[in-house]
Amino acid sequence: MTTRMQGQGDTSLKPGAVLQNRYSIQRVLGVGGMGSVYQARDLRFPNATKYVAVKEIINIADPSMREMVIKIFEREANTLASLDHPAIPKIYDYFNQGDRSFLVMEYIDGKDLETYLNDTPGLLGEEKVVEWAIELCDVLSYLHNHKNKDNQPEPIIFRDLKPSNLMLDQHGSIRLIDFGIARNYQAGQKGTMIGTEGYSPPEQYRGESSPAGDIYALAATLHHLLTKQDPRIEPPFSFSERPIRKANPGVSMELEAIINTALNYNPADRFPSAQAMKDALVALRRRSSGMLGHPLGTGRLDLGSLGQGRPVESQAAGVAAAPARSEVTPLWAFKCEDEVRGSPTAANGVVYVGAYDNNLYAVTAADGQLLWKYATDGGLPGSPAVHQDIVYIGSEDRRLHAVSAKSGRLQWTYYADAPIRSSPRAADSHVFIGADDHYLHAVNVVTGRRAWRFQATDAVRCRPAIANDRIFFGCESGEFYAIDMRGERKWHFKAKRGLTSSPLLANNTLYVGSLDGMVYALDASSGWTIWRFRTNKPILSSPAIDGNLLFIGSADNHLYAIDIRTGREAWRFQAEGQVNSSPAVNKGVVYVGSVDGCLHALEAASGKLRWRFKAGGPITSSPTVVNDVVYVGSFDHYLYALTA
């Protein structure tokens, strides 16, 4: 019981019909809800071909309604006849005949802007659209400042500004057609309809109409003209979610800002008048015509590079307000003898971290005092695991080392057949760790002996995830495995490139990043892929989750927040270098390091930058937050402690 458009039946006047012995109908120009608009010839000028437009209102059968509609029609016809503006067609005559009322007006030989836009290949240029916008502001200003015959203000609200109501005449000027005669007295719709009005401001649906509503509709029209995105089939009032410059990069920031102002939901936040909007457009035109060859170019590049994410505002605001907080003073900094690439682990008031000087360090969490250090024979790229007073760490010396958390004294070492660059996970009396020998090793925590090992197709460098008697991990060829506690494969999955990122298990779903640039969400029971999310460069970062948002960095310099329900981006934050560090979340704040040398603290909900700390070298180490203190290492050899 639904229609896309109200069918009129064929009640249109036929060519050749003559009204009032004067207007000879030539053809139908358009069909509306209340009747048609015709092109007619005025027979009073027998020796010249003078065309007029005749608009028809087919009256409703109900006699009381009919009388009211005729009254309103006559009143509005009189108002229109008193208007004098180059963009408004002249009114010549009106009359009632049979069950219809007619309005005779100037015929405009041209194209409406909807047709013009559809016929134009590619996008419209800014210069032309600004010119039209200025003309439209001018006519709106004229209408809004209309006075009645007693010289009292009587603003005329156009109420239905949209491309199809704007004609481009033979001289290239904009003309406003289809004044809303009896527009509010159309019969209500029955059944579901597809497509909204698209250009009307939100308050109009509460029955409010005001000059500010026309300003909104004008801006909505400009948005459509510049982006070619038809608002009638987009979510209503979604203009701000569809930035003009994203669809049409040739548009200047200034014009986008003017249109966005006019599109504010709150009428009070738009331009106070059509004249004010016109002034802004005229100023823009003046500035741009002064810059030969580079119209409207100032400042575009800087902000343009920030303008990629959806919540552009929050990024721009965040970066602008960014206290370049190298003045964020660390609580303490502890100097190792080489780069700290791995992530620190904190337990029982002690922070453990491995460095490329081959040492595992234990320092006090409170003041960064060295408790002990333990030397291996290779670099320590991974992070340690602490389990029942033992610290486990893998080394490029091919060994897994188990060291007393209290004293730093060696308990045992376990040999793989190649360097270990993975981080260990302890569970069920075993330590699980991958190695470049392509195996995932299960090692007994007491004896340091191998329980079993599982062969992958390439080096295993991630930290495995363990839950419900399943171990999940990926390898450098992109294979991802779910195996049981006896080392038997339950299912597997293949990404296009390596899986160095460590999987995160939450609510029986696995999230993992890949060197193919994707983030995958996998069903932990079956291995089915639920969704994937594309970034533009390889992912080395491991994900973190807070509520419905998943955070992960990419070598494309961004930290992404992804809605785990839809697999779509919630926001992204742009750093000045690759984000290979894994984010950590604490009390609504995300912490992540970047190759640009900064540790960034961002609001988890919006991605807005709260503060950043600049270290003396890149940060690929992943921050750890314990008791509102953030611990992170840097290539500058330091382990830092910062107030969260």
Partner 1 sequence: MFAFLKKLFGPKTEPPNGPATPSPTSPTLPLKGDPDATVPLPELVSSRPSPDSLKSKLAPPSKTRFTIGIAQDVGQVRPHNEDVLLVFTGELGGLEPMPNFGLFIVADGMGGHSLGERASGLAARRIAQVTLDQILPSLLAPPDADIERPLLTEVLENAMVAANRAVVAGVPEGGTTLTGALIIGDQLVLTHVGDTRAYLIAEGQFEQLTRDHSLVQRLKELGQITDDEAAVHPQRSVLYRAVGQGDGLEVDVISRRLPPGALLLLCSDGLWSLVPDTLILEIVRQSTSLQAACDALVKAANDAGGPDNISAIMVQMPG
Q: How far is the CB of 563 from partner 1 (least distance, A)?
A: 9
Q: Which stretch binds partner 1 (CB under 8 A): 378-386, 522-530, 586-594, 628-636?
A: 522-530
Task: Single out the segment in contact with partner 1 by CB under 8 A; choices: 19-27, 461-469, 521-529, 615-623.
Answer: 521-529
- Binding partner 1 (rule: CB under 8 A), the pick from 565, 588, 616, 627 is 565
Q: Is 232 a binder of partner 1 (CB under 8 A)?
A: yes
What is the distance between the alpha carbons of residues 369 and 387, in angstroms, rounded to a whole number? 22
Amino acid (1-letter code) at residue 44: R
Our CB check for partner 1 shows the closer of 260 and 413 to be 260
CA 495 to chain centre: 26
Does 508 interact with partner 1 (rule: CB under 8 A)? Answer: yes
CB environment 532-557: b (16+ within 10 A), e (fewer): ebebeebbbbbbbbbeebbbbbbbbb
End-to-end CA distance of the chain: 59
What does the block give as tokens for 451?
Answer: 């329980």
Contacts of 126 (CB under 8 A, 6+ apart): 226, 250, 251, 252, 255, 288, 295, 296
Using alpha carbons, list the distances in angstroms from residue 72 to 57, 76, 176, 338, 521. Answer: 11, 6, 20, 85, 61
Verify binding: residue 516, partner 1, rule CB under 8 A: no
Amino acid at 640: Y
Cα gap 162→580, rounded to integer Å: 48
528 binds partner 1 (CB under 8 A): yes
> Could you say whether residue 507 binds partner 1 (CB under 8 A)?
yes
What CA–CA distance (Å, rounded) separates 342 from 620? 7
Rule CB under 8 A: is residue 164 a binding residue for partner 1?
no
369 binds partner 1 (CB under 8 A): no
- Spatial strand order in the sheet of 489-494: 465-467, 470-474, 479-484, 489-494
CA distances to 41, 44, 506 from 52, rounded to whole Å, are 6, 12, 70
Structure tokens, 466: 């363990």
Among 85, 100, 159, 492, binds partner 1 (CB under 8 A): 492
* 109 versus 488: smaller Cβ distance to partner 1: 488
Task: Please give the structure tokens belonging to residue 277.
Answer: 């909007």
Q: Which of 131, 357, 523, 556 is close enough to bind partner 1 by CB under 8 A?
A: 523
**Taking the complex as a whole, how short is the minimal distance between the CB of residue 327 and partner 1, in angstroms?**
40
> In degrees rounded to 5, what are phi and psi of residue 280?
-65, -40
Query: d(Cα 95, Cα 541) in Å, to the nearest integer?
Result: 75
Told to check if 14 binds partner 1 by CB under 8 A, we report no
Shortest Cβ 545–partner 1 spacing (Å): 13
Q: 148, 525, 536, 643: which one contacts partner 1 (CB under 8 A)?
A: 525
Q: Which member of 374, 472, 493, 638 binds partner 1 (CB under 8 A)? A: 493
Residues 496-511: b if buried by 16+ CB within 10 A, e if exposed:
ebbbbbbbbbbeebbb
Q: Whole-number minimum distance, CB 548 to partner 1, in Å?
A: 11
Question: Please, which residue, 180 or 617, has the CB nearer to partner 1?
Answer: 180
Give min distance, CB of 196 to partner 1, in A: 5
235 binds partner 1 (CB under 8 A): yes
By CB under 8 A, residue 7 contacts partner 1:
yes
Closest to partner 1 by CB, 110 or 517: 517
The correct pick among 169, 203, 338, 603 for binding partner 1 (CB under 8 A) is 203
Considering only 17, 18, 65, 194, the residue that binds partner 1 (CB under 8 A) is: 194
Q: For residue 547, which of 529, 561, 527 has the smallest C-alpha distance?
A: 561
Q: Which of 335, 332, 405, 390 is nearest to 366 (CA)?
A: 332
Tell the smallest beta-carbon distance from residue 626 to partner 1 (Å).
Answer: 29
Chosen residue from 195, 304, 349, 588 binding partner 1 by CB under 8 A: 195
Residue 31 beta carbon to partner 1: minimum distance, rounded to whole angstroms = 16
Stretch of residues binding partner 1 (CB under 8 A), selected from 154-162, 277-285, 492-500, 582-590: 492-500
Q: How far is the CB of 498 from partner 1 (least distance, A)?
A: 17
- Which residues partner with 603 through β-bridges? 589
Q: Does residue 151 bind partner 1 (CB under 8 A)?
A: no
- The pattern of x and - marking residues 372 through 411 that bind partner 1 according to CB under 8 A reads ----------------------------------------
Binding range to partner 1, per CB under 8 A, among 2-10, 71-79, 139-147, 316-324: 2-10
The answer to whether 491 contacts partner 1 (rule: CB under 8 A) is yes
Give the span between the Cα atoms of 215 and 140, in whole angstroms.
8
Under the criterion CB under 8 A, does residue 10 sit at the interface with partner 1? no
Q: Single out the segment in contact with partner 1 by CB under 8 A; choices: 65-73, 159-167, 406-414, 487-495.
A: 487-495
- Dist CA 423 CA 439 (whole Å): 13
Q: Does 206 bind partner 1 (CB under 8 A)?
A: yes
Q: In the complex, what is the shortest distance from the CB of residue 618 to partner 1, in angstroms, rounded to a whole number?
A: 34
CB 56, CB 37: distance < 8 Å? yes
Residue span 314-343 as binding mask against partner 1, x where in contact by CB under 8 A, dash where not: ------------------------------
Site size toward partner 1 (CB under 8 A) is: 48
Instruction: Output the 3-class SS for 209-271.
Output: CCHHHHHHHHHHHHHHHHHCCCCCCCCCCCHHHCCHHHHCCCCCHHHHHHHHHHCCCCHHHCC
Complex with partner 1: residue 310 or 600, whichever CB lies closer? 310
Q: Which residues contact 507 (CB under 8 A, 6 or more apart)?
A: none
Q: At CA 338, angle to CA 333 and CA 340, rounded to 5?
A: 60
Applying CB under 8 A, which residues contact partner 1?
1-4, 7, 188-189, 191-196, 202-203, 205-206, 232-238, 265, 489-494, 507-509, 521, 523, 525-532, 564-567
